[in-house]
């Protein structure tokens, strides 16, 4: 157990007023530590969390407009002795990783559509930017900092990254990266040519184009600005009160392009990691609930750029983590790296 986890256990027992209460550590990572005591879960947020922005995000999660979409926090917010912010939440049943057939893709699509429809003018503010593009930029920074030996995979990931428009790389109008330490040169290129749709050959000759719009530092590609989750995957859903699903983890919540929230499932589908029927269930549920980010027919004109960004982010983290652990890539990581290689090759062929 890390020092942060030990501090969080002590704080949770104090909050529960039971020094001997049984506490379970659910996650213990540098970017977030989570412990459970009975029906309450405590989370220590990343060290660089802005308390003011976190307070706004908590207010959004507790707002009536987000009821039955986001899990509401339990009253009380504090800090550990090391300064990390702590929030309290109701415990809920997570998605079972060993039951893929029961994965709540329909529920995820519906929840996202409802989240994207929340009237932002009625929410507490000022709302921060959705942090998805900044997290992608941090993944690239981590890959660069790992100083890996030159390889086809590393070059391809960096080339695919450089081909993304500035808004998808966390770059503002001046070309500066918001909140990310730049490690090495990043070409600020707006790439509007049709791409490989994250490496899927059946999309190469569709002829549609992606207009990334003007980067504005908020991670918005000029298409739409809505309330976004910022880091959607099945680990961000829990079953609340036995029957209802809710979105959790508000660290990246904020204003942005709602297509970003669909991008990870899109990237998995394009890389062959998500079955076509699951992708169609997710996308169909999102559209049926009024979702704004998937188009009426072909979703890829909206999802192409964010899906490529999430592909590259995942591949960069996979390479950096595998190198740090001295291990080979697993099957899923290999698939995302291969998708990045296909994207880079298509970009080179397209000129």
Q: What CATH number has the domain bearing residue 262?
A: 3.90.1200
- Tally the C-alpha atoms within 13 A of residue 167's C-alpha that lie toward its C-beta: 23
Same structural domain, 303 and 174: yes
Q: What is the bridge-based pairing of β-strands 226-228 and 254-256?
A: antiparallel
- pLDDT bucket at 261, cuts 50 / 70 / 90: very high
Query: What are the C-alpha distances in Å from 232 to residues 87, 204, 311?
Result: 20, 26, 14
Q: What's the structural domain count of the chain?
A: 2
- Tally the C-alpha atoms within 13 A of residue 62's C-alpha that lie toward its C-beta: 15
CA-CA distance, 121 to 119, in Å (whole number)? 5
Residue 97 lies in a domain: no
Give the mean pLDDT of 282-289.
97
- pLDDT bucket at 246, cuts 50 / 70 / 90: very high
Q: What is the CATH number of the domain that holds 51?
A: 3.30.200.20
Residue 241 lies in a domain: yes
For the ranges 57-61, 268-272, 296-300, 339-343, which has the lowest average pLDDT?
296-300
Mark which of 90, 120, 149 sits at the end of a domain.
90
Does residue 92 surpass a pLDDT of 60? yes
Does residue 113 surpass a pLDDT of 70? yes
pLDDT, tens digit (0-9, with 9 covering 90-100), for 315-338: 999 999 999 999 999 999 999 999
Averaged confidence pLDDT in the chain? 83
The residue segments making up the domain with residue 74 are 3-90
CA-CA distance, 225 to 136, in Å (whole number)? 19
Residue 155 lies in a domain: yes
Same structural domain, 197 and 345: yes
Name the residue with tokens 């076509």.
276
Residue 119 lies in a domain: no
Mark which of 90, 117, 152 sits at the end of a domain.
90
CA-CA distance, 123 to 144, in Å (whole number)? 38
- Quote the tokens at residue 92: 């809920």
């Amino acid at each position: 157990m890390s020092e942060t986890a030990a501090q969080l256990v002590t704080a949770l027992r104090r909050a529960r007023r039971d020094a001997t209460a049984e506490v379970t550590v659910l996650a213990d990572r540098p970017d977030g530590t989570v412990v459970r005591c009975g029906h309450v879960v405590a989370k220590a947020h990343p060290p660089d969390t802005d308390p003011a922005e976190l307070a706004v995000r908590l207010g959004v999660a507790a707002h009536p407009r987000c009821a039955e979409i986001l899990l509401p926090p339990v009253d009380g917010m504090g800090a550990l002795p090391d300064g990390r912010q702590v929030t309290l939440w109701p415990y809920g049943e997570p998605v079972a990783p060993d039951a893929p057939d029961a994965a709540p893709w329909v529920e995820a699509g519906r929840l996202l559509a409802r989240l994207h429809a929340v009237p932002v003018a009625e929410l507490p503010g000022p709302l921060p930017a959705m942090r998805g593009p900044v997290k992608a930029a941090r993944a690239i920074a981590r890959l660069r900092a790992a100083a890996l030996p030159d390889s086809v995979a590393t070059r391809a990931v960096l080339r695919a990254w450089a081909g993304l428009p500035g808004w998808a790389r966390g770059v503002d109008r001046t070309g500066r990266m918001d909140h990310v330490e730049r490690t090495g040169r990043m070409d600020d290129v707006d790439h509007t040519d049709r791409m490989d749709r994250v490496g899927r050959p059946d999309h190469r000759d569709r002829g549609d184009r992606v207009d990334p719009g003007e980067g504005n530092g908020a991670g918005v590609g000029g298409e739409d600005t809505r309330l976004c989750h910022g880091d959607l995957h099945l680990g961000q859903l829990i079953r609340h009160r036995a029957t209802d699903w809710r979105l959790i983890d508000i660290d990246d919540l904020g204003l942005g392009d709602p297509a970003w929230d669909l991008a990870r499932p899109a990237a998995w589908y394009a890389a062959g990691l998500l079955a076509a029927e699951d992708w169609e269930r997710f996308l169909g549920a999102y559209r049926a609930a009024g979702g704004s980010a998937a188009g009426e027919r072909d979703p890829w004109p909206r999802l192409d750029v964010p899906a490529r960004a999430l592909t590259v982010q995942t591949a960069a983290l996979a390479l950096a983590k595998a190198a740090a652990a001295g291990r080979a890539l697993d099957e899923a990581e290999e698939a995302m790296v291969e998708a990045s290689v296909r994207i880079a090759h298509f970009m080179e062929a397209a000129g």
